[in-house]
Amino acid sequence: MLRAALISQFQGARSMSELQTIRRVTVYADAHLEADLTQQFLKLGAKGYTVTACRGKGKHDSVEDLFAPTGRVRIEILVQPLVGDRIMEYMSGNQFKRLAVAACMESVQVAMDDHF
């Protein structure tokens, strides 16, 4: 029974040629910026986002404690290319030049691009 279900699921899977290319924008920022950033991403056309606490070392300082009140967050947004460009343009603005903020964008493939 399980084998039949797995075979059926596999047969219904999309081939690589059916995958759609979209963008994943990842933003690393101070946790206190999370609400403002995610609100702006939605205004720029994102349909959703994922936020996780993160730690690391960069130009500004080292963050080791995930539960520290001045922690950092990693915000990931899956979007259509035009929305990704808008978000990256926003993140390149002068308002972020002196803040501990970094953003990057990459192409990813998804099976259901209408979700993004």
Domains of the chain: 16-115 (3.30.70.120)
pLDDT of residue 4: 60
Give the distance from CA 47 to its chain's centroid: 11
d(CA 115, CA 66): 31
The answer to whether the Cα torsion of 104, 58, 51, 18 is positive or negative is positive
Q: What is the pLDDT along the chain (116 residues), one digit of tens a residue?
A: 556 655 555 555 556 668 999 999 999 999 999 999 999 999 999 999 999 999 887 766 555 555 555 589 999 999 999 999 999 999 999 999 888 899 999 999 998 767 78
